[in-house]
Chain A
Amino acid sequence: MEFLVASAIGTMTAGGVYLLLRLRTFPVILGLALLSYAVNVFIFSSGRLAIDMSPILSKYGEASYTDPLPQALVLTAIVISFGMTAVLVMISLGAFLEADSDAIDIDQTDLDEDSAK
Chain B
Amino acid sequence: MSHWIILPVVLPAMLAPIIGFMMRHDIVLARVTSTFGTVLLLGISFVLLGMAMDGTTHIYRLGDWPAPFGIVLVLDRLSALMVTLTATLALMVLLHAMATGWDDRGKHFHALFQFQLMGICGAFLTGDIFNLFVFFEILLIASYGLMIHSGGRERMRAGLQYVVMNLAGSTLFLFALGTLYASTGTLNIADLAAKIPEIPADEAGLVRVAAMLLMIVFAVKAALFPVQFWLPATYSNAPAPVAALFAIMTKVGAYAILRVHTVVFGPGVAGTEGMIDAWLFPAAIVTIALGSIGVLGAKRLMPLISFSVVGSMGTLLVAVAAFSPVATTAALYYMVHSTFAAACLFLIADLVVSRRNGDSLTPTFATLQNGLFAAIFFAAAIAMAGMPPLSGFLGKLLVLDALRAPDVIVWAWTAILVGSLLTIVGFARAGSALFWKSTAIAAPEVAGDPVEPPSQANVAEVTPVMLTLAVLVALSVFAGPVASYLEQTSNQLFDRSGYISAVLAPVEER
Contacts and interface: CB of A to CB of B under 8 A. Distances in A.
Contacts of A76: 130, 134
Nearest to A32: B167
B174 A87 contact: no
B295 to A, nearest CB: 16
A25 B141 contact: no
B163 interface: yes
Interface stretch (B59-67, B154-162, B369-377, B453-461): B154-162
B177 A25 contact: no
A99 interface: yes
B179 interface: yes
B151 A94 contact: yes
A108 to B, nearest CB: 10
Interface residues of B, number: 38
A69 B181 contact: yes
Contacts of A70: 178, 181
Contact of A104 (B160, B181, B300, B360): B160
Given A39-B175, A94-B148, A46 B153 contact: no
Q: Among A47, A73, A83, A91, which residue has the most Cβ atoms of chain B within 10 A? A: A91
Contact of B178 (A28, A46, A115): A46
B360 A116 contact: yes
A52 interface: no
A44 B167 CA distance: 20
Given A98-B151, A116-B359, A28 B164 contact: yes
Contact of B174 (A43, A47, A104, A114): A43
A84 B175 CA distance: 17
B187 to A, nearest CB: 8
A112 B236 CA distance: 12
Contacts of B437: none
Interface residues of A, number: 41
A99 B153 contact: yes
Given A80-B137, A88-B164, A106 B158 contact: yes
A43 to B, nearest CB: 4
Contacts of A99: 153, 156-157
B35 interface: no
A112 B232 CA distance: 13
A25 B174 CA distance: 23
A94 B303 CA distance: 24
B406 interface: no
A59 interface: no
A83 B142 CA distance: 12
Contacts of A110: 154
B46 interface: no
Nearest to A36: B171
B153 A114 contact: yes
B146 to A, nearest CB: 12
A46 B182 contact: yes
Interface string A92-117: 10110011000011100011101111
Contacts of B359: 116
Nearest to B138: A80
A106 B358 contact: no
A81 B175 CA distance: 13
A88 B177 contact: no
Interface in B112-126: none
A39 B173 CA distance: 10
Contact of A91 (B130, B148, B154, B233): B148
A39 B156 contact: no
Interface of B: 130, 134, 137, 141, 144, 148, 151-154, 156-161, 163-164, 167-168, 170-171, 174-175, 177-179, 181-182, 187, 233, 237, 299-300, 303, 358-360
Given A91-B156, A98-B156, A106-B154, 4 more contacts: A46-B178, A48-B182, A98-B152, A110-B154
8 nearest CB pairs, A to B: A46-B182, A95-B156, A115-B154, A46-B178, A43-B178, A39-B174, A95-B160, A116-B360
